[in-house]
Amino acid sequence: MTPQKPEPAEKHTIRPGQSIELLKELHILTRDGKLNQDSRRKLKQVNHLYQFIEPLLQEIQRDHTDITLVDHGAGKSYLGFVLYDLFFKHQSDASHIYGIETRDELVEKSRQLAAKLLFPGMTFLHLSAADSVQSEALPATVDIVTALHACDTATDDALLFGLQKKARFIVLVPCCQAEVATFLRKNKSAQLAENHLTELWRHPLHTREFGSLATNALRCLQLEAHGYQVNVTELVGWEHSMKNELIIARYKDLPRRRPAERLNALLEQLGLTELIHRFCTL
């Protein structure tokens, strides 16, 4: 009996119904429809994130038909285009994806690609995450906010955007985080004298790593202090990305006082009271 040849790896990576033309335009697929190692990792990460977001979209859809999603730090809008391709393009309603990006050339390329693919429910805006809160080009309330590898404080600005827009879901995959580490480093000498926990970030490498952990812990407390239920999980295996933490927040109108108290206490204990504006409880 002749053994069967294994199926191409691409078949297990590209989802059913996924636009091959889109994947080629995003340079995830080569012109002849092949995947290289780097693009395979990117596609796996975005598709895996879609698996987390799709149930959230379906839950919103059960409540109302028109879904508004805002993607911060969109870059080339991998996430926005994949979401639209796999979910939004099948909806015959007024659902809409907004991509927020500071690099004008990427905004223009995304606009051209959306027009080419006939994706009318996508809008791309040349804005920072911080400025987007006041922009009249965005609706007063949104259903879901995403930020995939929005660098450093852009993730916090996206989080604040979600809070102010009363988002039902906030989905974050944090990237580089330097602000907290900078203040940990700045106040290290004073903290060493009175807090043995400072040993956790005394060495420069630990300062960076602990700063990243502390940043995300503070973000979770901030979300809980606004009534959100927070789940933290791994996005994909470490072999695909070191920036691997996925934070999903669902608004449940939960009690706010205790997480707000713990947030403020943690900022004080870590010597980060100068950052209380960053992790405000509004």
For the record, the structure tokens of 209 come out as 């790593």
Buried b / exposed e across 156-184, counting CB within 10 Å, b at 16+? Answer: bbbbbbbbbbebbbbbbbbbebebbbebb
pLDDT classification of 99: cutoffs 50, 70, 90 = very high
pTM of the full structure = 0.89
Q: In the prediction, which pLDDT does 27 show?
A: 83
Q: In the prediction, which pLDDT does 42 show?
A: 75
CB atoms within 10 A of CB 244: 15
100-134 confidence digits (pLDDT tens):
999 999 999 999 999 999 999 999 999 998 899 89
Q: List the CATH code of the domain at 48-176.
A: 3.40.50.150
pLDDT classification of 202: cutoffs 50, 70, 90 = confident
Q: Which residue would you say has higher pLDDT here, 15 or 230?
A: 230
Structural domain boundaries in the chain: 48-176, 177-228+251-282
pLDDT classification of 32: cutoffs 50, 70, 90 = confident
CB atoms within 10 A of CB 189: 9
Strongest mean pLDDT among 14-18, 153-157, 235-239:
153-157
238 pLDDT more than 80: no
What does the mean pLDDT of the chain come to?
Answer: 87
Q: How far apart are CA 282 and CA 264, in angstroms?
A: 13
